[in-house]
Structure 1
């Protein structure tokens, strides 16, 4: 018996006129929203800089709130702020009226979102902020609304049409609000000089965390490194290579700086009279090394570029700090 779902898909896909119409709808929506974003970029809300400075000067957190679609956007803005150096969380406006107002302190800043500016559920949190002198950053299309009248900073959205066919579903307005939230977050992170190291602190997990890991987090520590002195005989170097299990050994000078590396390949190339020679004679000079602090992803690329599996991690004076192996990177999810 034919699968009804497959028949439906085949029937719909076969209607070329419907497919064309669908693509045109998508283009219209994206164009409408893109034009709205460009309009706001060309004419930023007057209080944008004031809002950024207000958050920077705050000793507390940014509390975001909104109802319905605005609430979903508020949650995302809070998440973006928190992950880029500005402590923030979302408070549901209805739950705020039933005790969660206790989460909002006088050291905080509230970012309240309402397209109309008259969302009744925001009434209590707005009144709470006014009562205790908590600054409000209002985002709304209506700058004469109750929300904007109470706001310390007014981030007025441009009067652009919604992208839906009936002009009612939150589409353009939510895209504008989301874009404005991203603009705030990025402006704040750059003003705070929030760099890759800070970003890595807040994103330790998953694929992104793996990409942001450094060799210092993955390397084998200095206590177990296969190192031999520059004057050591190759018999001692081979024993060190075997004992440590990395398949190579570093040669260091009298001060402890790395000046060469002995690999399995070096052993094969110097079989004749190998054990009668010293380590420096057999070692490859100017070995491939990885600088401390290098991203693991970059280290893996270096290993692959030179077709090697392992390298020493060194400081800026070539003192060995550890060893990073290609398997260490792969196990950590770096690829």
Structure 2
């Protein structure tokens, strides 16, 4: 008999939807509301409860680690997106009018052929899946998010990088008309466009995700619409938002926060409770919605899947 082993990163299906949300939907079905799901009354009720309407087709995560998800409300109202503002609670309102239509991604550098990909066309060729991941911010807060997307390695295989490509560099949209902080010029919070990078083996790891949605629906603007990177074993600032360029390069790119303050932010940014930030401890974290802190896990709980990538490296030096 063939035994199918599921990847250890797969985070139980009953956790994918919080119980209160599940019960509300079940009650709708009992009332025969399934046939009326498109009606204004039903949509209005779901909206009032902050329940997203599913608009993506994807393979569900079985959540084998029984992670408890944060609510949709928590995930979409507490965000770092400096292009809009440094206030986490104001991002949602400022991002309402952000236009992500006709989105394209430039692929350049050390590839067989440079190209521009239309995101809508790209998504038609990719198999979307749900990944329930822990998300840990360098600031000491965390959440659990049901992202939806495709693996970065599947995209890399499509664009065919050359053997000389050792790193992948990512760039966020530069648009001063849409991003208030970018419009501030030399007074902006950081230098734009926002840049991030991964070593090629990190990019090819099965955990690394190009996310286009969460909670069954397309990515909210404030969470990095229409497409962002998710690297769950690293601090959140590595998971660059609103990507418009992916470059394959030979030299290690300098990421935005490393350029801003190399003493506090390195290239790797692996979650490590044994290495404190210069201004605060990284040993514990506060999950959004909880009062008490919990211990932070090495590599954010993904040590089994990624520790081999850093074998022999001094993780106090390569932060």
Please indicate, yes or no, whether the TM-score normalized by the shorter chain is above 0.5: no
Relative to total residues, which structure has the larger helix share, 1 or 2? 1
Q: TM-score, normalising length from structure 2? A: 0.20
Return the structure number with greater relative CO, CA threshold 8 A, min gap 6: 2
Instruction: Give 1 or 2 for the bigger CA radius of gyration.
Output: 1
